[in-house]
Amino acid sequence: MAKTDWWVTAAGLAVAGVALLFGFYLLGFAPLGQRPGVVFGYVLVIDLCVLAFAWLEQRLAAAHLAAGAVVFALLWVWTLGHLSERLLSWALALYFGFAVLHAALPVALQRVRPGTAPVWWAQLFPLAALLLMVAPILKLHPVSALVFWPVAILLDLVVIAVALISGVAWWMVAALVVTLGLAGCWIATAPAQLEMLPAELVVIGTVAVLFVAAGVWAAQTLAPKPATPTTAPQPPAHQPKPLWPCARPAPEALLAQIPALSALLPFVLLLLVTARLPLADPSPVFGLALVLTLLLLGLTWLFPVSWLPAVGLGCVLLLEHAWHAAHFKPAAAAVPLVWYVGFTLVFMAFPFLFRRRFLGEVLPWATAALAGPLHFYLVHQLVKAAWPNEYMGLLPSACAMPCVAGLISLIRTLHPDAPNRLTLLAWFGGATLFFVTLVFPVQFQRQWITLGWALEGVALLWLFHRVPHPGLRLTGVGLLVTAFVRLALNPAVLQYHPRSATPILNWYLYTYGVTTACLFVGSRLLAPPRHLILETNAQGLLATLGTVLAFLLLNIEIADYFTQPGAQTLTFQFSGHFGRDMTYSIGWGVFALGLVAWGIGRRVRPARWAGIGLLAVTLGKLFLHDLARLAQLYRVGAFIGVAVIAIAASFLYQRFLGGQAKQDETRLPPASPPAP
């Protein structure tokens, strides 16, 4: 461009810029603000002049961006100052028209002049128009869906079309987020009436299906094609200038996630609808959730995104819990029960229907195994509220059937050398044992929950012997430790039931006794080389916890035996009753003798030292407490009992450990004679 022509062009652009800025002055007049056709007709003429400069001279491409920014700033000012219900159609037409005009120019330039460098702002103006549409929602609510949403969908189509033509998919994600935010604002400001439900669900479903389809299309058309080994890729005839950094082509991983986000994000809007509307029947909302779930599962089959079923299950559970907490009525429980069970079966059946496709994956199978246990709380609460009965323990038994069927199917069909075989069997085996061990807690509740955890932990450790997956061992030990903490460190456990009139043979015995037995059995199941978990000796840990719980049970039974008849709660007192104090001393001594005997018989040094330590504590109690407080007869009895125990412990040490030491000495080789 000659210097004279450049100055002429610059002067023309300056005049056009001043004319555009003059539009702000015109909008200051209220009568002109009510006649948008006049004001924006004037703006359109000036805008076309600026775009003509950008069309004729490639170096003036930035003028297109500047003119577009001024035009949309004018639209924003007019919307805030003059928009009314009568002018809504004008507003939507202006948003759409200017967005299409400014989005089409860069695309047309690239088509007419293939060497033209692409610009990043082609998709910016449709997004700006979508953002402008928030103002009518906030200013004119309620906004008619039949007038408003067709324009929003058309703007989305413009963004999608430009993204596919330019090969830049980033803007599709931005359009999806803006559109869903627009829908959220519209739903939040709409009347909270059931009459709005069909329109809201149609909008959510349309946006989801549109962007899922566009995302799949983009993933299939924009993904890089692998080069054939016979032909090397040829460089293009002309190398265009690099795109603006934010407009680089999306990687293949993002292309696969665009349709996934399109099916996941609408769940947020469904939660909003559920929270605002009085939904006695969840079928419309759950029906759309089922469509979104099927889209997610279909995308999992199309693309290598195995995490989608797990995230989809989480979204469905969140929606179900939101509806159940806000709208569930026991009188109408059949419909939600069908939906809860239906969603469970959909997620469970999915990997089995496409077994070959997901044989090398783990997450789809893990999601299928977890679908039942994660839905059980909702199903249990529903059945308990709607149909209370004395046989609630049958419910987890029924829920275990699909897990058992899945486990049997995997055992029969998976080859012994199949990848992830042990992992898949561990997931379904663990889910099955979860329901089996829930039978007693659900039937009896309270302390039975703790017993269920303990039994589940032992069952998982037993299953670990058949399916050596480390997750089973870790989960089993975790459940056993949790059961111990609940019984040993939770004083409220002792108040679950009033004291029984029968001493010793009461609910303390079976609750603490069964959990103690589970800890010891779990310790036995973790014999070496299975004993190390996270570099920790889990066998010793469970044995220690079992010993502590057994000692606690001993003290509980003594306290219960000597508690005053008729008392409702258990009390621990270590003075004031001669017989009780003597029993504590003798009981501790017997327990210490048992620890010493066990340590000697099993060659477990920590058990021997624990027994000796407890025996020392017992002797200290005897000399420092019992001598001063017990009567003559009880004092003698305590001395005799503890003395016998101490003598027995000494005899055991001398008989077994002393003999072993001598035997070891005789086995030593004779010392060699000194060298001459």
Predicted confidence at residue 247, as pLDDT, reads: 44
Q: What is the pLDDT of residues 329-375, one digit of tens each?
A: 999 999 999 999 999 999 999 999 998 888 888 999 999 999 999 99
Nearest to 520 by CA among 493, 549, 491: 549
- Residue 536: phi and psi, rounded to 5, are -120, 140
Task: Please report which confidence band the pLDDT of residue 223 belongs to, taking 50, 70 and 90 as the band edges.
Answer: low
Q: Which residue is it, tokens 């032909």?
A: 231
Q: Cβ–Cβ contacts within 10 Å for residue 662, how many? A: 9
Q: How far apart are CA 152 and CA 443, in angstroms?
A: 54
Please state, in angstroms and as integers, the Cα–Cα distance from residue 320 to each residue in 264, 352, 555, following that order. Answer: 15, 24, 46
Q: How far apart are CA 474 and CA 468, in angstroms?
A: 11
- Residue 557: phi and psi, rounded to 5, are -65, -40
Nearest to 447 by CA among 399, 509, 391: 509
Predicted confidence at residue 273, as pLDDT, reads: 95
pLDDT at 663 over 70: no
Please state which of the ranges 438-452, 538-552, 660-674 shows the lowest mean pLDDT.
660-674
pLDDT at 146 over 60: yes
DSSP output for 585-622: HHHHHHHHHHHHHHHHHHT-HHHHHHHHHHHHHHHHHI
Q: Cβ–Cβ contacts within 10 Å for residue 595, how many? A: 25
Task: Please report which confidence band the pLDDT of residue 381 belongs to, taking 50, 70 and 90 as the band edges.
Answer: very high
The number of angstroms, rounded, from the C-alpha of 520 to the middle of its chain's C-alpha atoms is 33
On whether the CB atoms of residues 144 and 189 are closer than 8 A, the answer is no
Instruction: Based on DSSP, count helices (H) and strands (E) in the chain, helices before strands.
Output: 28, 2
Three-class SS state of 497: coil
Nearest to 438 by CA among 471, 377, 397, 401: 397
Predicted confidence at residue 661, as pLDDT, reads: 45
Nearest to 428 by CA among 402, 465, 395: 402
Q: How far apart are CA 203 and CA 199, in angstroms?
A: 6
pLDDT at 389 over 60: yes
Q: How far apart are CA 296 and CA 338, in angstroms?
A: 21
Task: Please report which confidence band the pLDDT of residue 675 belongs to, taking 50, 70 and 90 as the band edges.
Answer: very low
| Cross-strand pairs, 266 | none
pLDDT at 500 over 50: yes
Pick 645 or 397 by higher pLDDT.
397
Please state which of the ranges 101-115, 300-314, 376-390 shows the lowest mean pLDDT.
101-115
Please state which of the ranges 63-67, 187-191, 330-334 shows the lowest mean pLDDT.
63-67
Output 419-422 pairs: Cβ under 8 A, ≥24 positions apart.
Answer: 419/359, 419/360, 420/359, 420/360, 420/361, 420/362, 420/365, 422/467, 422/468, 422/469
Please state which of the ranges 172-176, 488-492, 561-565 shows the lowest mean pLDDT.
561-565
Predicted confidence at residue 651, as pLDDT, reads: 65
Nearest to 27 by CA among 36, 14, 17: 36
Mean pLDDT to the nearest integer, 519-527: 93
Predicted confidence at residue 232, as pLDDT, reads: 47
Q: Mean pLDDT in the chain?
A: 82
Task: Please report which confidence band the pLDDT of residue 569 belongs to, taking 50, 70 and 90 as the band edges.
Answer: low
Three-class SS state of 192: coil
The residue type at 141 = H
Q: What is the pLDDT of residues 452-497, one digit of tens each?
A: 889 989 999 998 988 888 888 999 999 999 999 989 888 777 666 6
pTM assigned to the model: 0.75
Q: How far apart are CA 403 and CA 430, in angstroms?
A: 9
Task: Please report which confidence band the pLDDT of residue 198 belongs to, taking 50, 70 and 90 as the band edges.
Answer: very high
For residue 262, the number of C-alpha atoms closer than 13 Å in the C-beta half-sphere is 30
pLDDT at 2 over 80: no
Q: What is the pLDDT of residues 419-446, one digit of tens each?
A: 788 899 999 999 998 998 888 778 776 6
Predicted confidence at residue 391, as pLDDT, reads: 86
Read off the tokens for 505.
């043979």
Which residues are CB-neighbours of 640 under 8 A, at least 6 positions away?
none
pLDDT at 400 over 60: yes
Q: How far apart are CA 422 and CA 404, in angstroms?
A: 16
The number of angstroms, rounded, from the C-alpha of 103 to the middle of its chain's C-alpha atoms is 40
Mean pLDDT to the nearest integer, 37-56: 85
Using a pLDDT cut of 90, give the percent of the chain over it: 39
Which residues are CB-neighbours of 610 under 8 A, at least 6 positions away?
547, 595, 599
Q: What is the pLDDT of residues 226-280, one digit of tens each?
A: 544 444 444 444 444 433 344 445 555 567 788 888 889 999 999 999 999 999 9
Read off the tokens for 310.
């797990």
pLDDT at 88 over 70: yes
Task: Please report which confidence band the pLDDT of residue 671 belongs to, taking 50, 70 and 90 as the band edges.
Answer: very low
Q: How far apart are CA 442 and CA 436, in angstroms?
A: 11
CA dihedral of residues 277, 280, 283, 288 (deg, nearest 10): 10
Please state which of the ranges 249-258, 262-271, 536-545, 630-639 shows the lowest mean pLDDT.
630-639
Q: How far apart are CA 483 and CA 168, in angstroms?
A: 55
The number of angstroms, rounded, from the C-alpha of 348 to the middle of its chain's C-alpha atoms is 17
Domain segments of the chain: what residues?
121-222+250-278, 281-443, 446-572, 581-660
Alpha helices in 354-469 (DSSP H): 363-386, 394-413, 421-437, 439-444, 447-466
Predicted confidence at residue 641, as pLDDT, reads: 64
Q: How far apart are CA 8 and CA 344, in angstroms?
A: 71
Task: Please report which confidence band the pLDDT of residue 414 belongs to, taking 50, 70 and 90 as the band edges.
Answer: confident
Is 256 exposed, middle or buried, given 0-12, 13-18 or 19+ CB atoms closer than 10 A?
buried
Three-class SS state of 536: strand
